[in-house]
Amino acid sequence: MDDNYKYIHNICSNCSSRETVVLNEVDSESSILLTSDVQCLNNIHAKRLLCEHCGCISVRFSKDYSLDDFYKTKYITDEKVQDHFIISEKKLKSKHKYLQKKLFKNGLLNISKGTILEIACGKGDLIRQFSKDNTEWECWAIDPSINEKSFIKESEIRYIKDIFKHEYFEKNYFDIIIAHGLLNRAPVLDTLRQIGLCASKGALVSLEVMLLENSHCIPYIWDHTYMFTMRVFQYYLKSNGFEILEIENMGPSYHFMCKYSALEEEKYFIPGKLDYRLLEDTKSQYQQHVTWWESAFDTINIVLKKNEQICLFGAGMYSAILMSKLDNKNAVKYILDELKSGSFLNSIPIIDISDAKTICSNIVLLVRPEYLKLIINKLMENDINFTVINPEKVR
């Protein structure tokens, strides 16, 4: 083992406790370190820790490696690449459009003038639309990957190109704070504390997070650096002064609409030790994902004994993880994905569903379980044969 390992301390980066256990550790020289946008991290070592004090599963990297630069320069914010689709009314919909409609058109906001901040706004589609529809509002946005050109045109939005820090903003200033997709990439307890510092008393806070229950890929993905179960997240929210108004399961992620009730001045939450039942639940959820994948790897090996080459369905994390575990790197001939057809994943051509019948056989499905039914229906409608290797739900 390389010397770099000694630089990775087993300290929880969420609560600083040393009561941690190592779930898995990898080295980019011998393994592939995948990110959620299906890229690879190079020249690093990483450890995934479970904190037995706060219940958070977090990732620590070797030496001074930080994902901040990755987000500023390499991270792909394209909707096609991101897991930006949700299932609603049994249909696949754009997450941005759905949230926009849900947040701003259902009467949750009945004040005509106020202040709004979107943290980790990405391309800024959500805040831009809000600003157009609500011209009286003072709109702010912060994100390390902001494209200045597109924001300059929208002069009414004040933006900051950086990682979120409460110091940029006046205390208790905002009536609405949106933080979607942030709390799995930043220390969740401290980020909630900082959001609280920026929020006015009674502010609406819209949070979108991935929870361990719905994140099968977690044992193999290295940029979702903070992960927790539903119950642990609810505990974090409550302890930080956030009252949950509404929770919605959107498939890959959950949407939480909260109201911020300020904690007593400066008495910010210092977490006590988590209830052991919540910790046991976290351990069991993680183990279920590991078992799920081991079963999928076994099944693909059986399929590959019968077929020399296969086509995979979907050019996302599930296929990337599967491919990273195949001994025969030429086993996958095509990837079928109508959203990304014409491009490549690991040099393998991505083709459209309309080409599937003519140029590929042996289509293998390993997909997010929530999407399985929809995809099966679609393939059957198009008269395409396939083999499902999704393991049955463990429980």
CA distance 266 to 280: 32
CB of 218 to Zn ion, least distance (A): 17
217 binds Zn ion (CB under 5 A): no
Nearer to Zn ion, 17 or 341 (CB): 17
Beta bridge pairs of residue 334: 311
Nearer to Zn ion, 16 or 309 (CB): 16
189 binds Zn ion (CB under 5 A): no
13-52 mask for Zn ion (x: CB under 5 A)? -xx-x---------------------------------x-
Residue 338 vs residues 36, 128, 214, 383: alpha-carbon distances, Å: 19, 28, 24, 16
Q: Which of 34, 41, 50, 54 binds Zn ion (CB under 5 A)?
A: 54
Torsion of CA 181, 375, 316, 292, to 10 degrees: 90
**62: closest CA among 138, 141, 7, 133?**
7
Cβ–Cβ under 8 Å, residues 334 and 348: yes
107 conformational bin, left if phi > 0, alpha if psi -120 to 50, beta if neither = left
Give the sign of the dihedral formed by CA 362, CA 366, CA 367, CA 371.
positive
Nearer to Zn ion, 16 or 100 (CB): 16
CB of 9 to Zn ion, least distance (A): 13
CB of 223 to Zn ion, least distance (A): 19
12 binds Zn ion (CB under 5 A): yes
CB of 324 to Zn ion, least distance (A): 29
Length of the chain: 395
Fill in the amino acid letter for 297.
F
CB of 59 to Zn ion, least distance (A): 13
Using CB under 5 A, count the residues that bind Zn ion.
Answer: 7
CB of 52 to Zn ion, least distance (A): 8
CA distance 320 to 265: 47
- Give the interface segment with Zn ion, choosing from 8-16, 171-179, 198-206, 373-381 (CB under 5 A): 8-16
- Residues at the contact surface with Zn ion, assessed by CB under 5 A: 12, 14-15, 17, 51, 53-54
